[in-house]
Amino acid sequence: MSKPRPIGRPTTATQADIEGCRRGDRRALDALFRAEAPALERVITRLLGPVPEVEDVLQSTLMAAIDAFARYRGEASVRTWLTRIAVHMVYGHLRRPQRRLRPKLELVRAVQAQQPGPPGPERIAASKQLVERLYRHLDAVGTKKRIAFILHVLEGRPIREVAALVGASETATKSRVFFARRALMGRVRRDPEMRELVAEPDDESRGSRKGGDR
């Protein structure tokens, strides 16, 4: 099975909306959040996996953005700035006790789209099981490594962008992705579908490295 395709990014809000948000204008905030919420929800869904708290984390992200907008100076795009807040909220959520898995439809469809054969109940069930397995394995990976891996591998974001989103150097971010992949490969060595999902073509030829959850 091929790796999930990177998520598309819908049109962002206007500069006038952003300026209004800085002033605390409620209509501007509503317009911005309507424009950005779908993209933020997709990122949060990918990072958290099949859990029921995606909407709660999204709402926490938007509430935090309202409080922080007065300090936003345009040093990054508003989408990047909001995504940083979302990543921070996800990080806090992942540090909490174990969550109950529940396959989210968007994730199931993303996996299902990569599987051969016509859609049907058996294929949908298999996709749900694969999503559940993937995020159970990810739950065993350190939080920082997990977030870097998902943003880079499942979201398809370049290392430089991931580093900016998580507030780490590019070297540290590459290290997190590497160790996340290595941890996952160790866990899924007897699961061919999962190995294909998380592996890189040259994984077997790489030498061992030292490091941790930086």
At 166 the pLDDT is 94
76-97 pLDDT, tens digit per residue, is 889 999 999 999 999 988 887 5
Least confident of 52-66, 104-118, 188-202: 104-118
Are 3 and 197 in contact, with CB atoms under 8 Å apart? yes
**Does residue 10 carry a pLDDT above 50?**
no
Instruction: Return the CATH number of the domain spanning residue range 15-205.
Output: 1.10.1740.10
121-152 pLDDT, tens digit per residue, is 565 566 677 778 888 888 889 999 999 999 99
44-70 pLDDT, tens digit per residue, is 999 988 778 899 999 999 999 999 998
Higher pLDDT, 16 or 44: 44
Least confident of 47-51, 96-100, 110-114, 208-212: 208-212
Quote the longest CA-to-CA distance of the chain: 55
* Buried-exposed string 29-59: b where 16+ CB fall within 10 A, e elsewhere: bebbbebbbebbbbbbbbbbbbbebbeebbe
31-43 pLDDT, tens digit per residue, is 889 889 999 999 9
Residue 22 neighbours by CB under 8 Å, 6+ apart: 69, 70, 72
Residue 208 burial class via C-beta count within 10 angstroms: exposed 0-12, middle 13-18, buried 19 and up: exposed
At 119 the pLDDT is 52
**Does residue 104 carry a pLDDT above 50?**
no
Are 38 and 83 in contact, with CB atoms under 8 Å apart? no
Rounded to two decimals, the pTM is: 0.70
Whole-angstrom Cα distance, residue 202 to residue 206? 7
